Structure formats: C-alpha cells, structure tokens
C-alpha cells in the first residue's frame, strides 16, 4: 500500500527537478491557447463619468444570488452532479487500475493466451465496473451541464429584463451622456459575458472565488469599457450612415474607430497576458505533480513495491486532477470577465432616476393653465451654462401662446421642462396651480401633454401601430378618426396596404409632411389638454406646410397650445406672443402690440422679412 506522506514529499521533490523541461514543452502550447481565448472578449461598453459615484469594484454575490434564487432547485442539481462527476473522475482511474492489473498479469505470462476464456472471466468484473462508472459519469455530466444552462439562461433573461426596465426609465440626461449603442451593448454583450462565464461559475466560486486578484478584474473592466467605446463609435456611424456619407466621412470615421479599437486591443492583450501568467503558473504547479508521480511511481514500480496497475491508476488520477485544475485556471479568465461584466450591468441597474414614473398626484380635471415662475435651468451636462434665468410665462387655457427668439435661446428647453424631461434648478412650473414636480410624470405625458416636434420619429411598424403608440388601448376606429383630424387619413388609405403599411425604421418610406401628419395623429389620439408644437412645420416645404398647418389649426381648438416657431408668419394669429432673450421673457403681447413696440419682436420680423426679400 502507498503512504500518502511519502508520496507528497516525493511529489514536491521530484517536481522541482523536472520542472523546467516539462513545462517548457507543455505550457508553451497551453499559454498560446489561453491567450487566444482571452483576446476575443466581446465588445462591451463604458459608463465613464455618470456613475463614478457608485461603488462598483466588488461583484456582489448576494446580488447574483437574487437572480438565481428562484431556480435554486436546478442549481442544487448542478452542484450535486458536479460533485458526483468529480468523485467519479477519481473513481474511474482507480478502477482502470484493476483492469490494468489483469492486463499486465496476462501480458507477463509466458504462454500468454490473451483471448483465452480465463482472461475474459477475470476481465469481466473490472471492465464491467469501469463501464458502469463511464455511464454514470456521462449521465451526471449531462445533468450538470444542462441544469446549469437552464439556470444561466433564466438568470440572464431576468437580468436583461431588469436592466432594460431600469434603463428605459432613466432621466433624459442619462441619454444625453451615454451613446445608445453603448447602452445596448451593455444589455447584450455584458449579460452574454456573464452568462458564458456562468457555466464555470459554480466550480470557480467553489474553488477560487476568493483567489482572484482585484487587479485583473479592474483590468478586465477597463478593457470592456474600451471595447464598448469602440462599438459606440461604430454604432453611431452606422445608425447615422447618411450623414456620414453626405460629408464623405467614411475614411475619417474608420480612423476614429481604428483608434478606439487599437486602445481596446492593447487593454485586452494586457489582460490576456495577465491571465496567461496566472494560468501558466497554475499549470506549472500541476505539471510538477504529474511529473513527481511518474518519477517516484516509476521507482516504486522498479523495486516491485507497487503494481503496474497501481501506478497507472495514480497516473491517470493525477492527470485527471491536473486536467480539471488547469481547466479551472482557464476559468479564471472567464470568471474575471464574467464578474466584471456583471458589475457593469449592476452599475446601470443601480442608477436611480430623479424623475420617478408612476408616483405623484393625478388631477381629476385639467383646465390647462400653465405657469413658469422665476424658472432657472441649466442642463446637467453643461451646468455652467444657464439656459433660463428667472424665466416667467403664463399659458392661458384654450389659447395659443407662441414663443419666439433667436435659435439657442432656450425655446425647446421650455418644452422639455414642461414635459419634465429635466427638472428645473429653481422657480416653479405649475399646471392648474400644482407644481409639476408633484404630479405623476407618466400621467402628465400620457394624458395631459401632446408634443409634436420638428423631426418626428416613427417606429418600424405599421401606420396603425405608430398612431396607436399615443394610446395603446385605442380601437382601429379611434386611430382612423385621429388620422382624419390630422389630415392623414386620405394619404394613408392611398398606401397599398393602407393602415397596415410598414413605415421604415425612420419612416423613410413616407414624406416629411406625411410623417408629420402621422405624428400629429399620434399626439392627438391621447386627446391632450396641452399641445406643444416645437417648430412642427419648419422642416417642411411650402405645400406640405400648408397641409400640416391646416391639420394643426383643427387640433389646436380648445386646447392650451404652446407654439414654438422660427418662421414668424405662422404665429401672427397667436393669442399671445412671447419673446425670449438671454434666458428671460423679454417681451409679451399680441402681434399688433409687439409691432407697435418696435422692440425685439419687431426686429425679428424685420430680419426675416429682409431675408425673404433677398
Ligand atoms: N440636451 C442638452 N444638453 C446640453 N445642452 C443643451 C441640450 N439641449 C440644448 N442645449 C443647449 O441649451 C441652449 C438652448 O437650446 P434650445 O432650447 O434647443 O434652443 P432653441 O430651441 O431656442 O433653439 C443651447 O445653448 C443649447 O446648446
Ligand atoms: Mg429648438
């Protein structure tokens, strides 16, 4: 029998002697392979400035557990199966040893009749046992892999669902900072990364969860952020390909992309090297064990202290352990990337919006009186630049109020503030006397305010669904009557598929005027009390403008309307015209009053008149 103590002494001793040669041959190939594995890190993304405030370094096991908890049955099956497989992996070589003993006995006999009856009789028992173990091992491997896959997929869906739900509710300013393609890659790539590391998660957690250097994880996070930045550049260029082409910027966009890509490559390679070193060292230790077994076992064999079968068992067993441990070291890489990816995902989930949907007051009846009182505002991304300073304006119910002023004076900002896309810095905005900060933003946007801007966005679905976007529960009849009001019904029914016509990703298949009228129908179907028209007709040619204007006149009746217009001819009939300058209300009155005053409005009119004269 073998004494464990002597074995371990021998293992360490002989390991040290045989190290260099053995490692040189075996590890070179292995390290190459591992580095390959590491370099193909999926493109993921960055979050930079926004959530520096969030402590992010430590991946939170309890947090991950929340996503696994409801499938703990599968997880239990997975862990149990994994343990059984591990035990079998040690059991199998031992049984193979007894097969080897039979073999070597017959091989050593002089009249070795290998295929004699006696051979089969003696072989039957051990072989049968080995076969049984093989079958068991494959069954439990199946149970292990498949139940982990179930847990992984379910957890990934839950994480994605949570992530999307929190992203889509975030403040508008978040989307001012983050490139949309980067946000999307966090939703896809980072969760994917976590999922693929998840298969290795259980063993990694069990064996080396605490072992990981935070240095490597930090490095991995950096490289993921950089990869994401690169895909952000690509995503932006591709989704705006027309603009890129119109400026013949293909080449320079490629250069920008290449630069980000190179930076990502450098980081990834650095990470790869780090993981490679870690794996190389692990392999070194493991290979020493195998070598030690060989050397010392060989000695014992030659002095007839153990049988060939015994040595065989130990060799296979050590090699099995070596193999699985070196796989484990390979898992380090996956594991590091998986945990840093999930950290990035949690970072997004953890950002809390300041405008919280579905909370706040809902008014029973809306009159539509809106007042801006001493409003001060600057965009969170440009806090030094005060867009509004002590801005005052009252919108009278059922009347049309127009705002004009030079471009960049903050006209659209006023509309955004009314929609509560941003919260003001000081002052107040009230609807029927209630501060809009106390109102439910969802209710405000869904039922009170209709917003039409210069460049309406249609979704890549049917005209019917696009209009219904304004009121999901609307019937087909309601959709059509909204379209009629918006002067859109006729041209829609002229489409080959009528209301079922798919409009392109950006409504490419419909003209600007048609698109605008579909957008008007969409805003109208909510029957809003307040209508905001932000340069609704400025992008249109004269003919479409007339059609859209006619539609707008109809829908403006009996609503509080805020018209923002660049072309002053369209607002002359407004009940009240306000001029904004330097962040303040500079003038207010009717067209004729303001003309008499010969102030800013008068100057604006003259400028436009001169321009159209040329
Ligand atoms: N999302 C934003 N983030 C930061 N600054 C912005 C943003 N939108 C507009 N601004 C700035 O706010 C000012 C007012 O813009 P805007 O309200 O769009 O002007 P107008 O509609 O009158 O042309 C401008 O200086 C503009 O650069
Ligand atoms: Mg504007």
pLDDT tens per residue across span 443-488: 999 999 999 988 888 888 899 999 999 898 999 999 999 999 999 9
Q: What does the block give as tokens for 493?
A: 């029914």
Is the separation of the CB atoms in 456 and 519 below 8 Å? yes
Class of domain 10-46+60-350: mainly alpha
Q: What is the mean pLDDT of residues 581-600?
A: 92
Instruction: Please name which of 354, 420, 414, 370 lies closest in space to residue 388, comparing C-alpha atoms.
Output: 414
Specify the residue with its C-alpha closest to ligand 1, atom 9.
413
Map out the domains of the chain as residue ranges: 10-46+60-350, 370-613
Place of tokens 């594995």: 37
Place 109 in a pLDDT band, splitting at 50, 70 and 90: low
Compute the distance between CA of residue 165 and CA of residue 167 in angstroms, rounded to an integer. Answer: 6
Rounded to an integer, what distance in angstroms lies between the CA atom of residue 441 and that of residue 474?
Answer: 21
Q: Is 453 in the pocket of ligand 1 (CB under 6 A)?
A: no
What span, in angstroms and rounded, lies between the C-alpha atoms of 388 and 401? 18
- Summarised one tens digit per residue, pLDDT across range 501-524 is 988 765 567 888 899 999 999 999
β-strand 400-404 against 576-581: which pairing, if any?
Answer: parallel
The sheet carrying 584-589 orders its strands as 449-452, 530-534, 560-564, 400-404, 576-581, 584-589
| Tokens matching residue 603 | 């100057």
Hey, is 384 helix, strand or coil?
Answer: coil
- pLDDT band for position 13 (50/70/90)? very low
Inter-residue contact 368 to 432 (CB < 8 Å): yes
- DSSP one-letter code for 138: H
Angle of CA points 21, 285, 301, to nearest 5°: 70
**DSSP class per residue in 439-487:** B-HHHIIIIIEEEE-SS----SSBHHHHHHTT-TT--HHHHHHHHHHTT
Whether 382 is in the pocket of ligand 1, judged by its Cβ within 6 Å, is yes
Q: Is 558 helix (H, G, I), strand (E, B) or coil?
A: coil
Q: What is the per-residue pLDDT across 156-212, written as a single tens digit (0 to 9) for each?
A: 889 988 999 888 889 888 998 888 888 888 888 888 888 877 666 555 544 443 344
Establish whether residue 408 lines the binding site of ligand 1, counting it when its CB lies within 6 angstroms of any ligand atom: yes
The answer to whether the CB of 412 is under 6 A from ligand 1 is: yes
Rounded Cα gap, residues 299 and 467, in angstroms: 85
The answer to whether 396 and 369 have CB atoms below 8 angstroms apart is yes
Question: What pLDDT, on the 0 to 100 scale, is given for residue 332?
Answer: 65
What's the alpha-carbon Rg for the chain, to the nearest Å? 36
* Residue 22: band (very low, low, confident or very high) from pLDDT cuts 50, 70, 90: very low
Burial of 15 (0-12, 13-18, 19+ CB in 10 A): buried
pLDDT at 426 over 90: yes
> Which ligand sits closest to the CA of 403?
1
* CATH 3.40.50.300, applies to 370-613: yes
State whether the beta carbon of 161 lies less than 6 angstroms from ligand 1.
no
Ligand closest to the CA atom of residue 536:
2
- At 111, is the pLDDT very low, low, confident or very high (cuts 50, 70, 90)? low
Q: Distance (Å, rounded) from C-alpha 326 to C-alpha 322?
A: 6
Q: Read out DSSP for 205-266?
A: HHHHTTT--HHHHHHHHHHHHHHHHHHHHHHHHHHTHHHHHHTT-HHHHHHHHHHHHHHHHH
Model confidence pLDDT, tens digit, residues 205-260: 444 433 445 677 778 888 888 888 888 888 888 888 878 888 888 888 899 999 99
Q: Is 589 helix (H, G, I), strand (E, B) or coil?
A: strand
Residue closest via CA to ligand 1's atom 3 equals 379
Alpha carbon distance 604, 263 (integer Å):
50
CA of 385 to the centre of ligand 1 (A): 10
For residue 105, what pLDDT band results from cuts at 50, 70 and 90? confident
User: Whose Cα sits closest to atom 2 in ligand 1?
Assistant: 379
Residue 52, classed as helix, strand or coil, is coil
Distance from the alpha carbon of residue 585 to the mean position of ligand 2, in angstroms? 16
* Higher pLDDT, residue 59 or 241: 241
Q: What is the pLDDT of residues 282-322, one digit of tens each?
A: 677 777 877 887 788 778 878 877 777 777 777 777 777 76
């Amino acid at each position: 029998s073998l004494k464990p103590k002597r074995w371990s002494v021998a293992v360490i001793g002989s390991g040290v002697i045989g190290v260099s040669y053995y490692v040189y041959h075996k590890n070179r190939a292995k390290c190459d392979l591992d580095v390959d594995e590491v370099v193909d890190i999926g493109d993921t993304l960055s979050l930079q400035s926004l959530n520096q405030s969030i402590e992010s370094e430590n991946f939170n096991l309890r947090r991950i557990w929340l996503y696994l908890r409801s499938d703990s049955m599968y997880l239990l099956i997975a862990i149990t199966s994994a343990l059984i497989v591990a035990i079998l992996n040690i059991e199998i070589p031992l049984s193979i040893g007894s097969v080897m003993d039979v073999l070597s006995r017959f091989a050593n006999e002089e009249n070795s009749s290998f295929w004699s009856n006696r051979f089969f009789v003696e072989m039957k028992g051990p072989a049968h046992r080995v076969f049984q173990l093989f079958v068991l091992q494959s069954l439990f491997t199946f149970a292990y892999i498949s139940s982990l896959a179930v847990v992984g997929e379910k957890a990934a869906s839950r994480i994605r669902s949570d992530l999307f739900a929190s992203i889509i509710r975030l403040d508008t300013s978040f989307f001012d900072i983050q490139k949309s393609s980067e946000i999307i890659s966090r939703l896809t790539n980072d969760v994917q990364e976590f999922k693929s590391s998840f298969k290795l998660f259980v063993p990694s957690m069990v064996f080396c969860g605490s072992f990981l250097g935070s240095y490597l994880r930090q490095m991995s996070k950096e490289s993921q952020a950089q990869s994401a930045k690169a895909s952000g550049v690509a995503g932006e260029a591709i989704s705006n390909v027309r603009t890129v082409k119109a400026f013949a910027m293909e080449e320079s966009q490629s250069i920008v992309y290449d630069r980000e890509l190179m930076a990502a490559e450098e980081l990834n390679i650095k990470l790869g090297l780090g993981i490679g070193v870690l794996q190389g060292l692990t392999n070194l230790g493991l290979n020493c064990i195998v070598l030690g077994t060989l050397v010392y076992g060989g000695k014992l064999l030659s002095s007839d202290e153990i049988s060939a079968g015994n040595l065989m068992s130990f060799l296979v067993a050590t090699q099995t352990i070596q193999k699985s441990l070196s796989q484990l070291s390979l898992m380090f890489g996956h594991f590091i990337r998986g945990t840093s990816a999930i950290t990035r995902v949690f970072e997004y989930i953890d950002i809390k919006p300041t405008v919280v949907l579905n909370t706040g007051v809902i008014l029973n009846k809306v009159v539509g009186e809106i007042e801006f009182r001493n409003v001060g505002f600057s965009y969170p991304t440009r806090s030094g630049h005060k867009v509004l300073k002590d801005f005052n304006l009252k919108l009278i119910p059922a009347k049309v109020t127009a705002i004009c002023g030079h471009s960049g004076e903050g006209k659209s900002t006023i509309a955004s503030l009314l929609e509560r896309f941003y919260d003001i810095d000081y002052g107040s905005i009230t609807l029927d006397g209630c501060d809009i900060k106390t109102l439910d933003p969802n209710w405000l946007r869904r039922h009170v305010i209709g917003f039409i801007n210069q460049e309406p966005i249609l979704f890549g679905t049917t005209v019917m669904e696009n209009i219904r976007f304004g009121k999901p529960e609307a019937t087909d009849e309601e959709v059509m009557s909204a379209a009629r009001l918006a002067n859109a019904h006729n041209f829609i029914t002229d489409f080959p598929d009528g209301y079922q016509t798919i409009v392109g990703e950006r409504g490419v298949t419909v003209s600007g005027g048609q698109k605008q009228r579909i957008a008007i129908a969409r805003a109208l179907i909510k029957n809003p009390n307040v209508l905001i028209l932000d340069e609704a007709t400025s992008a249109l040619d004269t003919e479409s403008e007339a059609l859209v204007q006619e539609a707008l006149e109809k829908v403006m009746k009996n609503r509080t309307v805020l018209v923002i217009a660049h072309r002053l001819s369209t607002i002359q009939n407004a009940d009240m015209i306000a001029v904004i300058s330097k962040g303040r209300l500079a003038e207010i009155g009717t067209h004729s009053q303001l003309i008499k005053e010969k102030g800013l409005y008068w100057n604006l009119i003259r400028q436009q008149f001169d321009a159209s004269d040329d």
